[in-house]
Copies of this chain bind each other. A is one copy, B any other.
Amino acid sequence: MSIYEQGLAPTEVNHVPLTPLSFIERTASVYPDYPAVIHGDIRRTWRETYRRCRSLASALAGRGIGKGDTVAVMLPNIPAMLEAHFGVPMIGAVLNTLNVRLDADAIAYMLEHGEARALIVDREFHAVIGDALARLDTPPLVIDVDDPEYGEGEPVSDLDYEAFLAEGDPAFGWHWPDDEWNAISLNYTSGTTGDPKGVVYHHRGAYLNSLGNQATWSMGLHPVYLWTLPMFHCNGWCYPWTITAQAGVHVCLRRVDPQRILTLIRQHQVSHLCGAPVVLNALINMPDEAKAAIDHPVNAMTAGAAPPAKVIGAVEEMGISVTHVYGLTEVYGPVTVCAWHGHWDELPLEERAAIKSRQGVRYPTLEGVMVADPETLEPVPRDGETIGEIFMRGNTVMKGYLKNEKATRESFQGGWFHTGDLAVWHPDGYVDIKDRIKDIIISGGENISTIEVENVLYRHGDVMEAAVVARPDDKWGETPCAFISLKAGRDGLSEQDVIGFCREHLAGFKVPKTVVFGELPKTSTGKIQKYVLRDRARAL
């Protein structure tokens, strides 16, 4: 045994479980009078917010809820949602944030599978939650949130959230986790096929990704953060914890409305926001007078589908600095970033945007990323051409899928997490997604990246949004089928115009053979639902 292993075991003095809960204790202690939450007319300091979180923890404990119990929430980005991110894990319980767009079947499945002991619900979801609860044999304790910014709807239960907080002790001595590997939250994947899978996060990973967000974005103290990204989505990419660590302001937002976003940005001098490209797309399509509201530095982090180069360029022209990240529910949200090089600033906007649309390199808090053969896990050459699957390993990879050892094992096979995303690896080490494994089109034996085709479509001035999927074809196996929504007043575009435009910018076999115009179906987080479009393409 080395001399460094003798009498030097961990003790309670030098080994304390990592947890993002430590952030709120510190921020409330150091900056008690700084603003923490803005929501409509509500203004709360860090002292108040910390007291409310402890009241929530204490009240839950008073109802017999504790370590390893699940507390579900069905809430928009309102103060109660933020409070749940601290109050629930403060007693060792696990926060299950439900996607507010889900139907009663899915909600009932999650409440049952996750074994929720309590459920905190905003009145907006009165109907769907009523239906979901009716399907359960042993419904959880239900707490009704009557948000003044909603101000309508019927109570979901007779237990009011504010009354429930009043049951608790605002000076409650919360429980530091006894192990950083303890679960902190449960996030169900959208699950387009089969039952949703419950992704379990732990305190260690949540702490580290929170620091990773801050370091990656070089975020200073006291950011003003606008909640354009749903907190139910990967725990808002861990930003409930990051912004709290930085003693920032959480500016709440019940729904994504571009005019309201611009108003809040101006009113509160918002410094940071996150969102799917569709949020940015909505902003750039606002009238110029509205866009002029942004007269101070604003930083946007975007992920989800790769934002088309055109969108990134237009957003930057508005004065919003875009950081492009990439991640999945299974890795706590973003874990790679298109880390910027100063000399790229001198490139023309179009080129710059194309570089920025790459998914980039690992966060400092994720230990490994590679692009490799999906079967052999052999890394692909860094040639910017060979397509492989993105694999990850590190401390911000999930604990696993709840009650689903088979799925956990499969997704961790070979010592790496299988993302299911296909990409090329550029010579500079930057990852560049070409498609989801299930989205890629194989036409006459050739791979077609739907993202590449979409990027071309977005360059057409009349196109608002575009999505390309495979359409079955007797001769070629599959051919590209484009679904397009047009900008207001630009309805003169024909299928032949689109095909002609693509022919100028793409190899012939990549050009869509079919073009369909109309609104595109989207998930609650603003992702275009390609499986719906695939069904439509199949039925054409």
Residues in chain A within 8 A of chain B (CB atoms): 2-8, 10-16, 18, 22-23, 26, 29-31, 67-69, 94, 115, 181-183, 200, 205, 211, 214-215, 218-222, 245-246, 339, 341-342, 361-362, 364, 367-368, 393-395, 397-400, 402-405, 408, 412, 415-417, 429
Contacts and interface: CB of A to CB of B under 8 A. Distances in A.
Contacts of A181: 10, 15
A68 B5 contact: yes
Contacts of A415: 11-13
- Copies of this chain per assembly: 2
Contacts of A364: 22-23, 26, 211, 245
Contacts of A16: 367-368, 393-395
A50 to B, nearest CB: 13
Kindly name the residue among A3, A16, A398 whose own CB sees the greatest number of chain B CB atoms within 10 A: A3
Contact of A7 (B69, B361, B400): B400
Given A5-B68, A200-B4, A408-B8, A14 B398 contact: yes
A112 to B, nearest CB: 12
Contacts of A200: 4, 8
Contact of A4 (B15, B182, B404, B405): B182
Contact of A94 (B4, B221, B245, B339): B4
Nearest to A69: B2
30 contacts: A2-B68, A2-B69, A2-B183, A3-B68, A3-B403, A4-B68, A4-B182, A6-B403, A7-B404, A7-B405, A8-B183, A8-B200, A8-B402, A11-B415, A13-B397, A14-B393, A14-B394, A14-B397, A14-B400, A15-B181, A15-B395, A16-B368, A16-B395, A18-B395, A29-B361, A30-B361, A30-B429, A211-B211, A211-B364, A218-B218
Contacts of A29: 361, 429
A471 B362 CA distance: 59
A11 B398 CA distance: 10
A520 to B, nearest CB: 35
Contacts of A429: 29-30
Contacts of A67: 2
Contacts of A11: 412, 415
A535 to B, nearest CB: 34
Q: Which of A6, A14, A30, A395 has the most CB of B within 10 A?
A: A14
Given A4-B182, A14-B399, A22-B367, 13 more contacts: A2-B69, A3-B68, A4-B68, A4-B94, A6-B403, A8-B399, A8-B400, A14-B417, A30-B339, A30-B429, A215-B245, A218-B221, A245-B364
A397 B205 CA distance: 21
Contact of A13 (B26, B115, B341, B393): B393
Contacts of A5: 68
A128 to B, nearest CB: 25
Nearest to A215: B214
A415 B13 CA distance: 5
A205 to B, nearest CB: 8
